[in-house]
Amino acid sequence: MRPYETDPQAIYAQSFATVQKEARIERFAPAMRPVITRLIHACGMVEIADRLAFSDAAAEAGSAALHAGAPVLCDCEMVGAGIIRRYLPAGNEVIVTLNDADVPDRAQRIGNTRSAAAVDKWEGRIEGAVVAIGNAPTALFRLLEHLEAGWPKPAVILGFPVGFVGAAESKAELAARPQGAEFIALRGRKGGSAMASAAVNALAVGIPEGTVQ
């Protein structure tokens, strides 16, 4: 068996240092560097640094919202599960409505997916919230529809739906017409729940002390 690193802190330090060097993190604004670092660490793909779209104040707005106690609205349980609760600065509530009992009937009524129907239930919690979408393009499309229709604005939209039908298109729509909301999104088909939750973790706590920023 080849020797391997066993110290958790050393593993984290080496991993983040590698990401920051290979992705040339210093070319990004300081507030975005922890987010980009954690996103790459979550998927192992340095090249995504060049595929990110984000508004200028997205990282600051998301971090401020979490520190002020804003809830995190997630499109699926996997995103919620990946958010490290001890990192949340104000004991923030993590909300997933996908499996609420009334969602299947709601989806039938609106002629859309369960993921889209679950977004309908966010109306009373959306203002100033951190939204993390890591699975369903229809959830992101539905949210943008509601914002266009006059819903209050979230603090930030983290758009990482993944897949071959609608994923790239939903993120392109977010980047082109964010409806006045701050946003971070990964262009194209790639994404996923791990990346969405990694973005939340980065907004909550940054990256471990001692890593180069």
pLDDT one-digit tens code per residue, 170-193: 999 999 999 999 999 999 999 999
Do the domain assignments include residue 3?
no
- Domains of the chain: total: 1
Cβ partners under 8 Å of residue 3, min gap 6: none
Under 8 Å between Cβ of 38 and 199? yes
Q: Is residue 134 one of the residues assigned to a domain?
A: yes
Q: Which domain holds residue 184?
A: 51-205
pLDDT greater than 70 at residue 54: yes
Predicted TM-score (pTM) of the model is: 0.94
Does residue 166 form part of some domain? Answer: yes
Name the residue type at position 180. G
Q: Which residues are catalytic?
A: 41
Beta bridge partners of 157: 131, 183
**Residue 213: inside a domain:** no
Give the residue from 52, 91, 57, 40 showing the smallest Cα distance to 198: 40
The residue with tokens 């977010």 is 174
Does residue 17 form part of some domain? no
Q: What are phi and psi of 138, to 5 degrees?
A: -65, -30
For the segment 10-47, what is each residue's pLDDT rounded down to a tens digit? 998 899 999 999 999 999 999 999 999 999 999 999 99
HSE-up (13 A, CA, CB side) for residue 176: 8
22 is a domain residue:
no
Cα–Cα separations (whole angstroms), residue 156 to 112, 134, 183: 24, 14, 5
Report the CATH number that the domain containing residue 157 is assigned in CATH: 3.40.50.10230
Q: What are the pLDDT digits (tens) for 94-141?
A: 999 999 999 999 999 999 999 999 999 999 999 999 999 999 999 999
For residues 178 and 55, the answer to whether their CB atoms sit within 8 Å is yes
